[in-house]
Every structure is written in C-alpha cells, then in structure tokens.
C-alpha cells in the first residue's frame, strides 16, 4: 500500500506520515563486498546459456564498474541523513518528504532474477 494511502487513513487520528529517502551514502548497506556478493548471486542464478553468451569477463567488468560508480558517487556525509531524521522527529511542522542525496545524475540499476 502506498504511504499516501496510509497517511490519509491515519490522519484523523493525529498521526502524520513522513517519508525519508536517503540516496547513495557510504554505509555498510552499499559495501563493495556486499554488492559484489549480490551481483555474483544474480549471475550464478542466470541461465547457463546467458552466462556463456556474456562470458566470465563480463561479470568482472560489471563488478568493477559498479564499484567505481559507488566509490565515485556515494557521499560520506552520512550526518545529513541523521539530521533529516532528527528534523522529521522533532520539528513541530516537518516536511512530508525528505530526499537526502548528493547524486544529481546517473542511475544505478541492479538486475534481479527471481
């Protein structure tokens, strides 16, 4: 269910829904080893014909590209996220949505095979 629906449903009870959307920050959530493990897991689940067509060099190229992207674009200013949470909790009239990011370009897509 959408947060907007939740917000409308619980508004009569005096509850306000606030959305915080942290962007790309250097935290354990985007640790290089964790991301590479995830990428390798997706690769391992891919059909053999796809892995053979791309070859083993592709997965290494992709991991290196993602690592470079994360190191270049992830911010180390994690305090900005903490400050946004603090404001959302303590302000009398907080914003409905906080987007905390320094990434102004690009899109990072992780494929998911289920």
Q: What is the span of the domain harbouring residue 88?
A: 22-100
> Does some domain include residue 114?
no
How many whole angstroms separate alpha carbon 79 and alpha carbon 5?
Answer: 30
Residue 69: what pLDDT? Answer: 87
Is residue 105, in this structure, part of any structural domain at all? no
Closest-CA residue to 79 (of 69, 87, 71): 87
Region of residue 80 (left: phi > 0; alpha: psi -120 to 50; beta: else): alpha
Instruction: Check whether 109 has a pLDDT greater than 50.
Output: no
Closest residue by Cα to residue 62 from 89, 82, 41: 41
- The answer to whether the CB of 39 falls within 8 A of the CB of 109 is no
Confidence of residue 3 (pLDDT cuts 50, 70, 90): low
The total number of structural domains that make up the chain: 1
The span from the CA of 48 to the CA of 33, in Å, is 24
Give the pLDDT mean for 96-111: 63
| Domain assignment of residue 10, yes or no | no
Burial 14-50 (b: 16+ CB within 10 A, else e): eeeebeeebebbeeeeeeeeebbeebeebbeebeeee
Q: How confident is the model at residue 90 (pLDDT cuts 50, 70, 90)?
A: very high
Q: How far apart are the first and last CA of the chain?
A: 22
Dump pLDDT digits (tens) for 4-61.
Answer: 677 778 878 888 888 888 888 888 888 888 889 999 999 999 999 999 999 989 999 9
* Nearest of 64, 66, 46, 60 to residue 108 by alpha carbon: 66
Q: Is residue 1 very low, low, confident or very high in pLDDT (cuts 50, 70, 90)? A: low
């Amino acid at each position: 269910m959408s947060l907007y629906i939740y917000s409308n449903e619980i508004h009569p009870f005096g509850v306000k829904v606030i959305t915080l959307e942290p962007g790309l920050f250097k935290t354990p959530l985007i640790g290089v080893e964790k991301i590479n493990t995830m990428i390798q897991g997706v690769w391992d689940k891919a059909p053999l014909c796809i892995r053979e067509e791309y070859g083993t060099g592709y997965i290494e190229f992709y991991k290196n590209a993602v690592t470079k992207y994360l190191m270049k674009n992830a911010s180390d200013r994690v305090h900005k996220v903490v400050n946004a949470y603090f404001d959302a909790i303590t302000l009398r009239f907080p914003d409905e949505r906080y987007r905390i990011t320094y990434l102004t370009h690009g899109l990072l897509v992780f494929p998911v095979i289920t």
